[in-house]
């Protein structure tokens, strides 16, 4: 038994070392290995799981999210997408993702799951928020084999490698089982501090669109046993469904939550009045077009980024077919008139550093 544990430890250490060597500086440095163009095989690498729950009209948006993770998978991590969706949508995902997997074998995998809820009060959960969003509250028991995952809403896009946000798992102390970003940065425009009629985490609450979940720890904590009584007590006072439940839970258990900075869940609220996410100066890592901003002209930066990823063809040059078209759209469609347009350099910062070297 001891021997096996040692082997695992050594493997993990080797994998981490390879990872660190291979990864290099994440933002500003020139990465040597990307010049050679030969993929480095790392058989011992962990699989990074990304979970998403999709109902209704969200299929295309979800495929663009998945494509963004693949596009920014510059360090060739093994990514596995866990997709919970309605039966009628499963074929669409299967067809598209099988095509992509043929183009990039060994780099990503996916698995489709039916929606399922605890048998007790099934219907109520399903109607709690936008169709099926509360599904993610039950991931610890629905995925008993998975240690950890990154949950994202369908209206989220990666602008950096997933390994970047994944690093935060290793910063957890012994009690932390999940990580989230604050719902807001500023009291004057915060939602929870002004309107909530229930307790919430911290000063301004947390946003649940991007969530690192250590399922092993959540199972040990018996997460779901905490969720049901919270729902029963507060259901008439909550507005944002599962996000409010998560806020209430972490109000009672603040030691269980790790807070990650706003550039990992960058939303229109961070720039629509003025720029309030100060740490995004080092680059926006994950962008979240909540309230439909990827599909509207209210802050065109969000739509332009979404469209650049939507148009990119999997397996082709990120520099030629993503970065260059994105840069020219940002110049052409005079986005300086909008407040979020003023921080467009922050949104392309990581892409500039990762993809530009290809042709140096």
Ligand X SMILES: *[C@@H]1O[C@H](CO)[C@@H](O)[C@H](O)[C@H]1NC(C)=O
Task: Using the minimum distance from each CB to ligand X, give the nearer residue, 75 or 125.
Answer: 75
5 binds ligand X (CB under 6 A): no
Task: Report the distance separating Cα 214 and Cα 216, nearest Å.
Answer: 6
Residue 219 burial (10 A CB sphere; 0-12, 13-18, 19+):
middle
**What mask of x and - would describe binding to ligand X in positions 96 to 135, judged by CB under 6 A?**
----------------------------------------
Task: Using the minimum distance from each CB to ligand X, give the nearer residue, 38 or 173.
Answer: 173
Per CB under 6 A, contacts with ligand X among 54-93 are none
Task: Report the distance separating Cα 131 and Cα 152, nearest Å.
Answer: 15
169 binds ligand X (CB under 6 A): yes
148 binds ligand X (CB under 6 A): yes
Q: How far is the CB of 12 from ligand X (least distance, A)?
A: 9
**What mask of x and - would describe binding to ligand X in positions 310 to 339, judged by CB under 6 A?**
---------------------x--x-x---
Task: Using the minimum distance from each CB to ligand X, give the nearer residue, 134 or 338.
Answer: 338
- Angstrom CA distances, 188 to 172, 203, 241, 273, 280, stand at 30, 12, 23, 11, 20
Q: How far is the CB of 4 from ligand X (least distance, A)?
A: 15
214 binds ligand X (CB under 6 A): yes
Q: How far is the CB of 178 from ligand X (least distance, A)?
A: 10
Encode 288-347 in three state secondary structure. ECHHHHHHCCCCHHHHHHHHHHHHCCCCCCHHHHHHHHHHHHHHHCCHHHCCHHHHHHHH
167 binds ligand X (CB under 6 A): no
188 binds ligand X (CB under 6 A): no
Q: Kindly determine how many residues on this chain lie close enough to bind ligand X according to the rule CB under 6 A.
A: 16
Task: Using the minimum distance from each CB to ligand X, give the nearer residue, 76 or 148.
Answer: 148
Please answer whether residues 100 and 70 qualify as being in contact, where contact means their C-beta atoms are separated by less than 8 angstroms: yes
Q: Are strands 47-54 and 78-85 parallel, antiparallel or unpaired?
A: parallel
216 binds ligand X (CB under 6 A): yes
Please answer whether residues 125 and 194 qualify as being in contact, where contact means their C-beta atoms are separated by less than 8 angstroms: no
280 binds ligand X (CB under 6 A): no
Task: Report the distance separating Cα 178 and Cα 250, nearest Å.
Answer: 10
Please answer whether residues 309 and 68 qualify as being in contact, where contact means their C-beta atoms are separated by less than 8 angstroms: yes
Task: Using the minimum distance from each CB to ligand X, give the nearer residue, 55 or 305.
Answer: 305
176 binds ligand X (CB under 6 A): yes
Task: Report the distance separating Cα 249 and Cα 313, nearest Å.
Answer: 41
Task: Using the minimum distance from each CB to ligand X, give the nearer residue, 170 or 359.
Answer: 170
Task: Using the minimum distance from each CB to ligand X, give the nearer residue, 133 or 348.
Answer: 348
253 binds ligand X (CB under 6 A): no
Phi and psi torsions of 80, nearest 5° = -125, 125
Task: Report the distance separating Cα 245 and Cα 205, nearest Å.
Answer: 11
Please answer whether residues 80 and 49 qualify as being in contact, where contact means their C-beta atoms are separated by less than 8 angstroms: yes
Q: Exactly one of 86, 109, 147, 307 binds ligand X (CB under 6 A); which one?
A: 147
Angle (CA) 250 256 259, round 5° = 80
Q: How far is the CB of 338 from ligand X (least distance, A)?
A: 11
Q: Which residues lie near ligand X (CB under 6 A)?
A: 147-148, 169-170, 173-176, 214, 216-217, 254-255, 331, 334, 336
């Amino acid at each position: 038994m001891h021997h096996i544990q040692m082997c695992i430890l050594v493997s993990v250490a080797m994998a981490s070392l390879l990872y660190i060597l291979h990864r290099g500086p994440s933002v500003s440095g020139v990465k040597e290995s990307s010049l050679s163009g030969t993929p480095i095989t790392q058989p011992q690498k962990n699989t990074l799981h990304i979970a998403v729950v999709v109902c209704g009209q969200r299929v295309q948006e979800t495929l663009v999210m998945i494509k963004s993770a693949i596009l920014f998978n510059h360090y060739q991590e093994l990514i596995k997408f866990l997709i919970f969706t309605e039966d009628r949508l499963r074929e669409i995902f299967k067809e598209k993702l099988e095509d992509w997997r043929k183009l990039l074998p060994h780099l990503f995998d996916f698995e489709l799951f039916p929606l399922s809820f605890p048998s007790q009060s099934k219907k109520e959960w399903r109607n709690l928020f936008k169709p099926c969003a509360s599904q993610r509250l039950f991931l610890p028991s629905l995925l008993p084999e998975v240690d950890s995952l990154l949950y994202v809403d369908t209206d989220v896009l990666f602008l950096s490698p997933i390994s970047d946000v994944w690093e935060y798992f290793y910063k957890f102390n012994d009690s932390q089982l999940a990580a989230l970003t604050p719902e807001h940065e500023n009291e004057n425009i915060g939602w929870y501090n002004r309107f909530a009629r229930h307790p919430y985490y911290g000063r301004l609450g947390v946003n649940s669109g991007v969530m690192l979940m250590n399922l092993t720890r959540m199972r040990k904590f018996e997460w779901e046993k905490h969720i049901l009584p919270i729902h029963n007590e507060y259901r008439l006072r909550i507005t944002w469904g599962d996000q409010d439940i998560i806020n209430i839970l972490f109000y009672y258990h603040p030691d269980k939550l790790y807070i990650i900075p706003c550039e990992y869940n960058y939303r229109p609220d961070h720039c629509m009045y003025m720029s309030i996410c100060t740490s995004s100066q080092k680059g926006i890592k994950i962008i979240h077009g909540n309230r439909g901003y990827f599909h509207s002209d209210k802050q065109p930066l969000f739509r332009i980024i979404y469209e650049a990823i939507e148009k990119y063809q999997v397996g082709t040059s990120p520099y030629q077919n993503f970065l260059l078209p994105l840069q020219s759209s940002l110049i052409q469609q005079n986005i300086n008139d909008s407040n979020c347009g003023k921080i467009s350099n922050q949104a392309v910062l990581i892409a500039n550093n990762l993809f530009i070297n290809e042709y140096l």
